[in-house]
Structure 1
């Protein structure tokens, strides 16, 4: 194999297998019943976004990334990611069924891309980058490969690495108040999966930069920075929709600071200059990257792994 790192990432992902059935959501119905109208609005909007977000990521995997990433060991990672996105969609559908028992409310949640402006703007941002590769059957030219890189970076840095991280912050904010332990349990595992998806994509970018360093020039860097700025703007509009004038310790201003903090992390990982220089305002998010802590009552900690048997020899003649 030319890229053993990708094969090891695939094996690591298998060890991180989890199922939706391990998450208990029904114990949180009492929390939902005592929430204020503003808090219920936040939950409804958040679930509506979750219901469609991972499906959009899966679409890009199938339509674009798998088609153009040809290394077999890298395709193993993408195949595994598609399975994980399906588990995430199942988890969010279960959230819908549990928290929105009214069929009409669930229909509205599924139609969020069409009738909720803040979610529609996020989706249109995604679709623009999905469509950027729709006419490319092969990456024949330097410009084609740059377009592919921009798509990959968008979904790693802006969607999985920013949009989802912002959504996770709302879930962990509830948990920090002793509410919604069930969604936080599932989100621990989704968070772990998405972090691995993001790091795989960044590793692909690293590999491309090592093999074709001229592709990642100043122009591409400027395009990536502008893309991330647009993503922050879309996420801030979503935050204003969710939070209104503020709910307890959560408001759009704090979320702006968190989004800018995360955006700087993504720019730094890509070797680009930070844009915002903003500190993380959410102390409850500082431990999430560790991913080894768990609520005492969870069925298993988020660091739990299953065994993977067998070895593969890495040899160019393989």
Structure 2
């Protein structure tokens, strides 16, 4: 039997770390070790700026190793879990400096949820596509405008930097890393053991856009959004929508953004994207037919929409998520 080379995974934590952001991916790697029949595949360590006990968000004390005691060149995967200290995303000058100084020596760098803020502070998100929890996406983009923050994906791989959304998305990220390292069969075995879905890939949306929009506290535009969902093939420009609610275009733009956290045009785009996604998963319609049915008019328009939001084509999305037979209407 060939000798197994252990893959070092270092979790870099700061006070207020979220236990699920940390424990979910850690358990996935640990379960992979448990199921392995050829030795320890992943060596797991937890590190912090000074070492010693670090208090987690629920108040539990977590033993850690000081980053000064770790050789960065030995780290195959660095994972920065999210969390908050005083209700704000993590900010740690010492950890950010260490990540910045050693990023070139580390195999791949990952974040879960608001852990992306530390990667942004370290200066390694510039020019990269980035994911975080959807509630923090706008703030991450504001703080680090050189990054390309995307609202929808569960996780994103951009070269050697992987970023993921919040909470359970960290498990999806870990499963993707395991699949890359050990193969899909091993990742599926881990997923089955954890009783989670292996089919959630990075292109899948974090949440249902209509559901999230209409469940938002204080959203006074729920009736308008119902109307949009039932009239996706119409010309849904600012003038049409503002006229529908009896507002000037300027007031409508401002009030809609205040109520929902996104611009009207981003909302229309998101509704069309989700409608198209559901059709790709649940029907045998061609991409061209779906594009017309959701108001994108042409297949190329829908293609651009999917690439911009998910980083994949509609056909690739269907191949990943559809439970329909593979002999679909698409070529």
Larger helix proportion, structure 1 or 2? 1
Specify the structure having the higher radius of gyration (Cα). 2
Larger strand proportion, structure 1 or 2? 2
Q: Which has the higher contact order (CA 8 A, sep 6+)?
A: 1
Q: Same fold (TM over 0.5)?
A: no
TM-score by length of 2: 0.28
